[in-house]
Chain A
Amino acid sequence: MITAGIDMGSRTVKVVFLEELKVDGAPQLRWGVKGKHIMFPEDLDPDQAADKAFEDALKGAGIARDQITRVVSTGSGRKQVKFANADVTEVGAGARGAVFMCPTAKTVVDVGAEEGRGVKANAEGKVVDFAGNEKCAAGAGAFAESMSRALQLSLKEFGEASLRSDKTIPMNAQCTVFAESEVVSLIHSATPKEDIAKAVLDAVASRVCAMVRRVGIEDEVVLIGGMVHNPGFVQSLKVALGVDKVHLPDMPEYISALGAALIAADGEAA
């Protein structure tokens, strides 16, 4: 059996195919990732983006559409995936995927382009408690991306630059717009770029941490979403959360799609 999870995010579309494995004597190895694909649908209509990403993913994995038994969509654009059999929220999918990858972690921190959220999950990956921020973009990847543009750095350079700073510059503005004006002020006062980068990522981490505190921080935290690729943000978040173990799973941006594929498999088995 092969199931598919498709995560229609605000910036990217992620597809994961999950295949049921038959590994004798190892029930924990029940599922394996058959294929994954990410697409940046810059010029595509959102309705077409899901189709295009799915077709590309099938081609990449070398499987036919009729081999897929069930498709579950997630993400902010999950309702736009017309061919999905069902949809789940990004909260439920993220928790399921994160606990599958890191079974000992119960606190899931998901920071994508549009939104960050904290989720407490049980051992089965079911959501126990969650909090997000419906209004503010200052705790999300798009804010970091926008600030990296203001500093004329690539996202990769931005994250690495922040690691070279040991200064703590507080950013007082809660709002993205005002935070950007603080960054401009710092640029004008000739503050080194690495210090500004660290200030921005500390601010994002602080916003995310405030949400996670609402659900409670357990000893082991798993961080998912595209922001995991930013080493500066990961470091800032570790400090803000004050926990020793922060798991950084492989393919962090695919975890919600993986969770959706797992939920698809659960539905097929039920």
Chain B
Amino acid sequence: MIANYGYKDGSGEYYISIDTDKCTSCTAGRACLTACPKGMFEIITDDYDDEVAAVKQAFRRSLAFDCTDCKPAGGYTSLPCSAACTPGAIKHSW
């Protein structure tokens, strides 16, 4: 399942997509949990009883601001969450 967490507003479209099929057999040791400097990810049990990564509820409506520090303007050349997730489950839409 591709889970898109985020929103679209007047300034753009801000979604973090998680391919949860890649989470069920995570080979990165749930690295997303520690890679995000703000700790935006959590592991939840989804509707199909799989343990998958998700963006915490509190961050879902403020991604444009919370992720800013990890974008190129913050000095990063790649996103820490996407880079840590070696199965390639995490993508940003912006």
Contact = CB atoms under 8 A, between A and B. Distances in A.
Interface of A: 88-89, 91-93, 126-136, 173-175, 207, 210-211, 214-215, 263
Contact of B8 (A93, A210, A263): A210
B3 A130 contact: yes
B4 interface: yes
A134 B47 contact: no
Contact of A129 (B4, B5, B48): B4
The secondary-structure label for the interface of chain A is: mixed
B47 A133 contact: no
B8 A133 contact: yes
Given A134-B61, A135-B61, A214-B15, A263 B6 contact: no
A130 B47 contact: no
A134 B2 contact: no
A27 to B, nearest CB: 23
B72 interface: no
B1 interface: yes
A136 B60 contact: no
Interface of B: 1-10, 13, 15, 46-48, 60-62
A88 B47 contact: yes
A136 B7 contact: yes
A215 B9 contact: no
A2 to B, nearest CB: 22
Nearest to B59: A134
A134 B1 contact: no
Contacts of A175: 9-10
Secondary structure call for the B interface: strand
A136 B7 CA distance: 7
The 6 A-B residue pairs with the shortest CB-CB distance, nearest first, are A92-B47, A135-B7, A131-B4, A174-B10, A135-B61, A134-B60
Contact of A133 (B1, B2, B7): B7
A129 B6 CA distance: 14
Nearest to A118: B4
Contacts of A134: 5-7, 60-61
B15 to A, nearest CB: 7
Contacts of A214: 4, 15
Given A129-B4, A136-B7, A263-B47, 10 more contacts: A89-B46, A92-B46, A92-B47, A92-B48, A130-B1, A131-B4, A132-B4, A135-B7, A135-B62, A215-B2
Nearest to A267: B49
Nearest to B5: A134
Contacts of B15: 131, 214
A104 to B, nearest CB: 21
Nearest to A119: B1
Contact of B4 (A88, A130, A207, A263): A130
A174 B47 contact: no
Contact of A126 (B3, B13, B48, B62): B48
Contacts of A128: 1-2
Contacts of B48: 92, 126
A41 to B, nearest CB: 23
Nearest to B55: A134
B20 to A, nearest CB: 9
A205 to B, nearest CB: 14
